[in-house]
């Protein structure tokens, strides 16, 4: 069985762009606006010796109680349940948001292997704006750029090597 990686994070952080990088496919809908990909979405990928399944998810509102947010939360929770490792994507440029805190709390309680990834980090000084992400309590943060492909190999290695 190939290990399953679930990509979670609030809308617009670059999950679908990362999904396309990881799967080398254009299957996920990459929007120029928040929250278009609301369905769970599966892909297969290979990096070096690692072969894996990736699940892209729409937005993430673990505590929402109605409408599309409830549906998105349900789908994301299913994806997380199916995953061997969760890749939690945040926006290196936007910094930590309240939603990031909500998701972190959920993921810490879950107790599944989790890798914190700060996307959109191209051209940013090593570590510069990333230290604030340590307050999420998920340990190390890996800087990547899904759009430019930077850090994606490290992401796969860090996510899958411990399994």
**Which residues contribute to the site for ligand GDP (CB under 6 A)?**
9, 11-17, 30-32, 34, 37, 119-120, 122, 145-147
Query: Do β-strands 4-8 and 41-47 pair in parallel, antiparallel, or remain unpaired?
Result: unpaired
Long-range contacts of 73-82 (CB under 8 A, 24+ apart): 75/38, 75/39, 75/40, 76/6, 76/8, 76/40, 78/40, 79/6, 79/8, 79/40, 79/55, 80/6, 80/8, 80/107, 80/110, 80/112, 82/4, 82/6, 82/55
Say how far apart CA 41 and CA 25 lie, in whole Å: 12
Contact positions with Mg ion (CB under 5 A) in 12-31:
15-16
- Residue 17, annotated ligand binder? no
Q: Does 47 bind Mg ion (CB under 5 A)?
A: no
Is 10 one of the annotated binding-site residues?
yes
Minimum gap (Å) between residue 13 Cβ and ligand GDP: 4
98 appears as a binding residue in the annotation: no
Please identify, among the stretches 32-40, 72-80, 117-125, 135-143, the one whose residues bind Mg ion according to the rule CB under 5 A: 32-40
Smallest distance from ligand GDP to CB 130, Å: 14
State the minimum distance, in angstroms, from the CB of residue 1 to Mg ion.
26
The reply to whether 56 sits in an annotated binding site is yes
Residue pair 19/89 in contact (Cβ under 8 Å)? The answer is no
How many residues can be counted in the chain?
A: 163
Verify binding: residue 76, Mg ion, rule CB under 5 A. no
Residue ranges binding Mg ion (CB under 5 A):
15-16, 37
Binding-site residues for GTP sit at 9-16, 56-60, 119-122
């Amino acid at each position: 069985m190939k290990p399953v990686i679930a990509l979670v994070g609030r809308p617009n952080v670059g999950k679908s762009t990362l999904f396309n990088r990881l799967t080398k496919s254009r299957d996920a809908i990459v929007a120029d606006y928040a929250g278009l990909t609301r369905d769970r979405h599966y892909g297969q990928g290979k990096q070096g010796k690692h072969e894996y399944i990736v699940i892209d998810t729409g937005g993430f509102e673990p505590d929402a109680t109605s409408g599309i947010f409830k549906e998105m939360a349900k789908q994301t929770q299913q994806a997380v349940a199916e995953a061997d490792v969760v890749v939690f994507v945040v926006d290196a440029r936007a910094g930590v948001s309240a939603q990031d805190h909500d998701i972190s709390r959920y993921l810490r309680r879950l107790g599944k292997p989790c890798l914190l990834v700060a996307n959109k980090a191209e051209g940013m000084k090593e570590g510069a704006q990333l230290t604030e992400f340590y307050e999420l309590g998920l340990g190390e943060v890996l800087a990547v750029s899904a759009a430019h492909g930077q850090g994606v190999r490290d992401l796969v290695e860090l996510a899958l090597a411990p399994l």
